[in-house]
Chain A
Amino acid sequence: MRPTIEDQLHGAQRLLDDVATDPRLSRDSHENLVNVRRLLKQIGRSWSELLPFYLNDNATMAQLLTRHDVELPAVAEPAGYDVAEAARRNAELRALLSRVITNLPDTPDGAAARREITEYLVRRIETDPS
Chain B
Amino acid sequence: MARLLQVFGFLSVLFRGATLAFQSLAVGGVVFLNAVLRRTGEESNALRDACLRWIGRAAAALAAMQLAYVLANSLILMQSADMPLREVGGANFVVAGAIGIVSALLMVVLARAGKSVSPAIFLLPAAAIVASTVMTSHAMARLEYRAPLVTFTALHQAATAAWLGGLPYLLIVIRRVANPDLARQLSARFSQLALVSVAVLACAGLVLSYAYVGSVSAVYGTSYGAMVATKVLLFGLLLFLGALNFQLVRRGPSSSILASLKRFGEAEIGIGITVILTAASLTSLPPAADLTQDRVTRAEIAARMAPRAPRLASPTMKELPEDIYAAMGKAFEVGPLSTESFVPGQAGTRPNTPAEKAWSEYNHHWAGIVVVAIGLLAILAQAANLSWARNWPLIFLGLALFLFLRSDPEVWPLGPNGFWVTFADPEVLLHRVFVLLVIGLAVFEWRVQTGRASSPRVPLVFPMLVAVAGALLLTHSHALGNIKEEVLAELSHIPLAILAVAAGWSRWLELRLPPENRARGAMARLWPVCILLIGVVLLNYREM
Q: Are A and B co-members of a single complex? A: no
